Amino acid sequence: MILQIFFLKMKSAVVADSWFMHTSVMQYFTKICLHFFNYFAPKTRLYQRVKVGSLGKGNTIHPTAIIDYDQVIIGDFCIIDKNVVIEKNSIIGNHVTIGQGVVIGSEGFELRRIAGEIIPVAHLGGVIIHDNVFISPHACIDKSSLGEYTEIGESSVIMTGVEVGHGIKIGQNVTVSEGTMIGGYARIGNRVKIGKRCSITDGISLDEDVVIPDYTIVTRDVKRSSQDTSRRS
């Protein structure tokens, strides 16, 4: 918990852009802290939420699918197709369909530029996929950092070639169409419809019942009342 609060403070814009953090002493200090965190945190069981894996009844899993059964919970009556990769700390509900070549729970894209180097932040969270979710081929769902979960709500549909970034919370009955990229830590409400090849910036929130047309670039929060029909918003 203390580490989590510390990292959230460090990531906030007020701290990260301040003069104090850009001094060379603090740069090297944060660099050493990050290296220390990346080396030791994945080895502890502190953030490892799924400690014992389980597999429900009536699943049809293709033999070429690679699943880390020791640390993955899968419900009943799921369909998992060819070449699917499911990494550890993933929780999958009942009646979920996962298409060919989907990667669930791979490393997120969170990196820090410190002292002329790029240092990745180790991701320790997982992915929760609720009941009746449909995921089409070649989608990617990244795991969240710091012991949280990337969530996909009940009865949502995720179509071909969609990237769901780290730490995203998607509500119930959401449709995400082909080729859409969703940035990290976005919040998407219930019954939202997102069109084809949209790009959604990280850290924004879309209210319930919002409809986003095809090819839209969304860089601000979208409120429930506004009818967002412009091409660029």
Interface residue list for another protein (CB under 8 A): 66, 83, 85, 87, 101, 103, 106-107, 109, 111, 113, 116-118, 120, 138, 140, 142, 161, 163, 165, 179, 181, 183, 197, 199, 201, 217, 219, 232
Q: How far is the CB of 108 from another protein (least distance, A)?
A: 9
The SS3 call for residue 127 is: strand
Q: How far is the CB of 5 from another protein (least distance, A)?
A: 27
**Does the active-site annotation cover 166?**
yes
Active-site pick, 22, 35, 62, 166: 166
The residues near 58 (Cβ < 8 Å, ≥ 6 apart) are 76, 77
Residue 174 or 198: which CB sits closer to another protein? 198
Q: How far is the CB of 232 from another protein (least distance, A)?
A: 7
Distances (CA, A) of 155 to 86, 104, 170, 197: 20, 18, 11, 21
Residue 94 or 106: which CB sits closer to another protein? 106
Question: Torsion over CA of 59, 65, 68 and 70, rounded to 10 degrees?
Answer: 30
Specify the DSSP class assigned to residue 2.
H
Residue 58 or 120: which CB sits closer to another protein? 120
- In this structure, how many other beta carbons lie within 10 angstroms of the beta carbon of residue 45? 7
Specify whether the CB–CB gap between 105 and 28 falls below 8 A: no
Residue 157 or 164: which CB sits closer to another protein? 164
Specify whether the CB–CB gap between 218 and 199 falls below 8 A: yes
Distance of CA 43 to the CA centre of its chain: 22
Q: How far is the CB of 208 from another protein (least distance, A)?
A: 24
**Two tokens, residue 193:** 């419809």
Give the DSSP H or E segment for 150.
Answer: strand 149-152
Give the DSSP H or E segment for 98.
Answer: strand 97-98
Q: How far is the CB of 64 from another protein (least distance, A)?
A: 8
Residue 138 or 187: which CB sits closer to another protein? 138
Pairing of strands 54-55, 72-74: parallel
Name the residues annotated as catalytic: 166
